[in-house]
């Protein structure tokens, strides 16, 4: 079966994110998605952000780990479509993302409580 | 420059029976901006994954959306199978392909109806939904459900289709082609339909790529990208070329979907003729551990599933990135600059599926 | 290419038979495979609680001590998972949908005398 292989994820720090994204953009990659998941790391809640890029049907993944309530830079200047994901992550997980090209300021998801995905 | 007015559109709207809310910023009759907001029917299905056993979540995954229900089940199963390294029997792969293509046909026919409804042709709406009904009958006959197939499970499929039914199905689809000719003939050749579609909501090739459009929306702008090329299920062994158009307007999106209908029928015929004999499922033991991204081509475009499992019977994180969500930036882009009366048309040609967004 | 496609279609529609059925008089035909509604056969049930454990919506409650089997009909999504799993084959899918009537929310089945031929006692 020619399916996607077991995934390869490049773990980066928050500072490297923008520069790596820019170089991927220049190589012709396309942003597929940004996914946020809440994981427990030795008792402390950590948010993992996976950035997935694609070129010629091959995936390239970047992962950054942040603490709850941390700030990260936006990549929507580089990939125009990133703003929906970033707004989603902001509304559901409460991550504040600096410099989103179209920032709905928490009004994208109409949820009954703020940041529902961080609750247990 | 005229005065700016904000008109709320949705979540309850006669032409768009989907809970999407848009604030349309108008200057006279022209849209200058559109501000979407969603979350009106958020169901938390992604969180539910940690409360159901992984084998049972298939039934929940299928209920993410009623139109691509089979695809959601399939994507979830494929992701778990990939993590657990399960070899799915050949026959099951072909059956999955057939069901996936049947849901593509029914989704596109439904879209034709809704699009006709959006520009006010009730007659066409009824006609395409009648054709869809015959596809739904085939689905019900083979899988047991009209929209929720319940056919996919981890390790294979839940029921087999007998050779006679397969033959019948091919004949029925062949007959359906004649009816589809009439339907798509009206959409593609009628003058009044053309007025509502041609040159409206243009998305150029560059914009489509920049804004990350997927599916028929992207292919209508001339980009040849189709996740079926990844060769999941049995697509590897079937021959097909992604349907593309170059204009990028509403008419081109309509034409892409029209041609994909025939392509799907052709793919089903190919799959039936190549169908191997044998088992349709394998036994699944143990629990998944690992993580994986899985991509499929839904009727609306590329969908991505992310599954992370920690070796228990409950999956830790499941994420679906649905095609409609990715198409929101393109939708906003298309809306800018078009007339207020074209809003329903433009939104519908993106084929929004809000229940997909609101997992 | 084709001129007057729409006009031709509209004219055709004027003269053809209706495509719809007169519903209550001509009911829908179900296929043998249709997953319609869950039917429980009390007489074979061993109250093993397997169906309760494996139901994705927790629609079934089995109380082994009381020999009671209970289905919350509105929760059941007719997935057929329990039918595949029950070793005694006492759960089946009938290829007919539930009629649009008001049913009791919960359906109880209780075996009155243990191991008798099984009279359904619906509360
Ligand atoms: S699985 Fe079958 S035998 Fe066991 S409790 Fe359920 S219905 Fe009874
Ligand atoms: S059919 Fe599915 S939902 Fe209904 S009782 Fe059985 S397992 Fe539960």
Handedness of CA B136, B140, B145, B149 (dihedral sign): negative
Contact check, Cβ <8 Å, B231/A3? yes
- Domain range summary for chain A, segments of one domain joined by +: 7-109
Q: Is B32 part of a structural domain of the chain? A: no
What's the pLDDT score for residue C101?
67
Cross-chain Cβ contact A7/B317 below 8 Å: no
What span, in angstroms and rounded, lies between the C-alpha atoms of C89 and C32? 18
Cis peptide before B11 (omega within 30 of 0): yes
Q: Judge A/C contact: 3 or more CB pairs < 8 A.
A: no
- Taking the Cβ of residue A57 and every Cβ of chain B, the question of whether any pair is shorter than 8 Å is answered with yes
pLDDT on residue B253: 86
Give the pLDDT confidence score for residue A5 in this predicted structure: 43
Q: What is the DSSP letter of B230?
A: G
User: Looking at per-residue confidence, does B216 or B287 come out higher?
Assistant: B216
Partner residue facing B56 (CB), from C6, C56, C78: C56
Calculate the average pLDDT of chain C: 77
* Contacts A–B by Cβ distance under 8 A: 98
Mean pLDDT of B195-223: 82
Residue of chain C minimizing CA distance to B121: C6
Q: Does domain A7-109 have CATH number 1.10.10.10?
A: no
pLDDT band at C113 (very low <50, low <70, confident <90, very high): low
Q: What is the pLDDT of residues C90-104, one digit of tens each?
A: 888 887 777 776 666
Residue among A27, A58, A81, A103 with most chain B CBs within 10 A, to mutate: A81
- The mean pLDDT value for C67-86 works out to 82
Q: Would you say residue C1 has pLDDT above 60? A: no
CA of B280 to the centre of ligand 1 (A): 25
Of C6, C54, C78, the CB nearest to B186: C6
Using pLDDT thresholds of 50, 70 and 90, give the confidence band for residue B67: confident
3-state secondary structure of B306: strand
B143 contacts in chain C (CB < 8 Å): 33
Tens digit of pLDDT for each residue in B184-206?
A: 888 888 777 778 788 787 888 88
Query: Which CATH number covers residue B270?
Result: 1.10.645.10
Contact C42 CB / ligand 1 (< 6 Å): no
pLDDT at B8: 82
For residues C3-26, give the mean pLDDT. Answer: 79
Q: Does A84 touch chain B (CB under 8 A)?
A: yes
A87 touches chain B (CB under 8 A): no
Ligand 2 proximity of C76 Cβ (cutoff 6 Å): yes
pLDDT in tens, B69-116: 888 888 888 888 888 878 888 888 888 888 888 888 888 888 888 888
Q: Predicted confidence band at C55 (pLDDT cuts at 50, 70, 90)?
A: confident
**Is C50 touching ligand 1 by the criterion CB < 6 Å?**
yes
The answer as to whether B49 is a domain residue is: yes
Most confident of A61-65, A69-73, A100-104, C105-109: A61-65
Task: Show the tokens assigned to B211.
Answer: 């804004």
Average pLDDT, chain A: 76
CB pair distance less than 8 Å for C1 and B189: yes
Cα pseudo-dihedral B328, B211, B74, C34, rounded to 10: 40
Which residue segment(s) compose the domain that B98 sits in?
Answer: 41-110+130-185+198-313+323-357
Does residue C121 carry a pLDDT above 60?
no
Determine the residue among B11, B33, B39 to mutate to test chain A binding: the one whose Cβ has the most chain A Cβ atoms within 10 Å.
Answer: B39
Give the helix/strand (H/E) hosting B32: strand B30-37
| Ligand 2 centroid from CA C37, angstroms | 9
Nearest to B317 among A37, A79, A107 (CB): A37
- Determine the pLDDT at residue A110: 74
Residues in chain B whose Cβ is within 8 Å of chain A? 21, 35-40, 42, 44, 47, 78, 82, 87-88, 209-212, 227, 229-232, 236, 290-295, 302, 304, 306, 308, 316-317, 319, 321, 325-326, 328-330
Quote the tokens at residue C68: 């009671």
Q: Hey, whose CA ends up nearest to atom 4 of ligand 2?
A: C76
Chain C residue nearest residue B141, CA to CA: C31
- Mean pLDDT across B251-263: 87
Whether the per-residue pLDDT at B350 is higher than 70: the answer is yes
pLDDT at C103: 66
Rounded Cα distance between B133 and B127, Å, is 10
> For residue B2, what pLDDT is reported?
65
* Digit-coded pLDDT (tens) for A9-56: 777 777 777 888 888 888 888 888 888 877 777 677 778 888 888 888
Six-digit token pair at B2? 């005229």
CB–CB contact B328 A91 (8 Å)? no
- In which band, very low, low, confident or very high, does the pLDDT at A4 lie, cut at 50, 70 and 90? very low
What's the pLDDT at B227? 81
Mean pLDDT of C67-84: 82
pLDDT of residue A6: 53
**What does the mean pLDDT of chain B come to?**
82
pLDDT at C120 over 70: no
The structural domain count of chain B equals 1
pLDDT score for B96: 87
The residue ranking higher by pLDDT, A112 or B102, is B102
The answer on pLDDT for C117 being more than 50 is no
Contact B308/A111, CB-based, under 8 Å? Answer: no
The answer on pLDDT for B168 being more than 60 is yes
Is residue B125 over pLDDT 50? yes
- Residue B225 CA to residue B245 CA, distance in Å, equals 12
Say if the Cβ atoms of C56 and B52 lie within 8 Å: yes
Q: Which carries the bigger pLDDT value, residue A26 or residue A103?
A: A26
User: Which residue blocks in chain B are alpha helix, DSSP H?
Assistant: 45-48, 57-62, 69-84, 90-118, 122-143, 163-189, 191-197, 205-210, 216-219, 250-274, 323-335, 343-349, 354-357
Per-residue confidence at A1, pLDDT binned at 50, 70, 90?
very low
Could C33 and B52 be called an inter-chain contact, meaning their C-beta atoms sit closer than 8 Å?
no
Q: Is the dihedral of CA B77, B82, B88, B93 positive or negative?
A: positive
**Binding-face residues of A in 8-27 toward B, CB within 8 A:** none
Rounded to the nearest angstrom, the distance between the alpha carbon of C59 and the centre of ligand 2 is 6
Q: How far apart (Å, rounded) are the C-alpha atoms in residues C78 and B259?
A: 35
Measured in angstroms, the CA of B353 and the nearest CA of chain C are apart by: 22
C-alpha–C-alpha distance, residues C30 and C19, integer Å: 18
In a domain, B124, yes or no: no
Q: Which residues of B touch A3 (CB under 8 A)?
A: 78, 82, 230-232, 294
| Residue linked to tokens 């004219």 | C11
Chain position carrying tokens 């062994």: B237
Q: Are B165 and B142 in contact (CB under 8 A)?
A: yes
Residue B178 lies in a domain: yes
Q: Measure CA B238 to chain center.
A: 20
User: What does the pLDDT look like over B106-116, one tens digit per residue?
Assistant: 888 888 888 88
């Amino acid at each position: 079966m020619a399916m996607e292989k077991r995934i390869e994820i490049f773990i980066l720090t928050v500072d490297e994110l923008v520069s790596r994204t820019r170089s991927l953009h220049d190589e012709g990659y396309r942003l597929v998605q940004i996914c946020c998941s809440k994981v427990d790391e030795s008792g402390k809640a950590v948010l993992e952000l996976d950035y997935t890029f694609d070129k010629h049907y091959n995936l390239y993944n970047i992962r950054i780990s942040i603490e709850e309530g941390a700030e990260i830079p936006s990549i929507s200047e580089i990939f125009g479509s990133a703003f929906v994901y970033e707004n989603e992550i902001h509304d559901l997980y409460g991550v504040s993302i600096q410099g989103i090209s179209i920032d709905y300021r928490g009004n994208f998801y109409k949820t009954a409580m703020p940041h529902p995905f961080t609750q247990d | 420059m005229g005065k700016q007015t904000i008109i709320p559109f949705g979540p309850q709207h006669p032409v768009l029976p989907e809970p999407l809310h848009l604030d349309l910023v108008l200057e006279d009759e022209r849209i200058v901006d559109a501000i979407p907001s969603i979350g009106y029917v958020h169901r938390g299905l992604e969180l539910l994954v940690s409360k159901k056993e992984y084998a049972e979540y298939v039934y929940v995954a299928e209920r993410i959306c009623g139109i691509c229900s089979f695809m959601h089940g399939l994507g979830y199963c494929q992701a778990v199978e990939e993590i657990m390294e399960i070899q799915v029997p050949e026959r099951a792969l072909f059956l999955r392909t057939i069901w996936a293509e049947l849901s593509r046909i029914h989704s596109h026919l439904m879209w034709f109806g809704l699009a006709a409804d959006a520009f006010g042709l009730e007659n066409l709406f009824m006609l395409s939904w009648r054709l869809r009904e015959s596809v739904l009958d085939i689905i019900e006959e083979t899988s047991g459900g009209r929209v929720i197939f319940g056919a996919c499970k981890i390790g294979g499929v839940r029921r087999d289709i007998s050779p006679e039914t397969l033959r019948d199905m091919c004949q029925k689809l062949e007959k359906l082609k004649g009816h589809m000719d009439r339907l798509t003939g009206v959409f593609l050749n009628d003058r009044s339909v053309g007025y509502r579609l041609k040159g409206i909501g243009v998305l150029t090739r560059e914009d489509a790529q920049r804004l990350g459009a997927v599916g028929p929306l992207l292919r209508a702008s001339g980009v040849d990208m189709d996740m079926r090329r990844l060769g999941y299920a049995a697509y590897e062994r079937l021959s097909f070329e992604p349907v593309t158009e170059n204009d990028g307007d509403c008419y081109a999106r309509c034409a892409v979907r029209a041609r994909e209908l025939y392509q799907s029928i052709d793919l089903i015929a190919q799959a039936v003729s190549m169908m191997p004999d044998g088992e349709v499922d394998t036994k699944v033991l143990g629990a998944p551990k690992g993580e994986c991204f899985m991509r499929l081509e839904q009727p609306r475009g590329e969908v991505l599933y992310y599954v992370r499992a920690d070796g228990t019977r409950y999956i830790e994180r499941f994420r679906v990135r649905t095609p409609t969500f990715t198409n929101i930036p393109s939708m906003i882009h298309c809306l800018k600059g078009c007339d207020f009366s074209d809003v329903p048309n433009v939104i519908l040609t993106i084929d929004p599926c809000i229940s997909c967004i609101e997992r | 290419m084709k001129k007057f496609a729409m006009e031709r279609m509209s004219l055709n529609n004027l003269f053809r038979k209706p495509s719809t059925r007169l519903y209550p008089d001509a009911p829908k035909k179900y296929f043998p495979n249709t997953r319609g509604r869950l039917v429980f056969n009390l007489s074979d049930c061993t109250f093993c609680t397997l169906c309760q454990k494996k139901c994705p919506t927790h629609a079934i409650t089995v109380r082994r001590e009381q020999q009671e089997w209970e289905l919350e009909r509105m929760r059941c999504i007719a997935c057929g998972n329990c039918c595949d799993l029950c070793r005694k084959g006492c759960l089946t899918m009938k290829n007919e949908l539930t009629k649009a009537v008001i049913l009791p929310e919960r359906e109880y089945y209780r075996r009155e005398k243990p191991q008798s031929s099984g009279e359904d006692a619906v509360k």
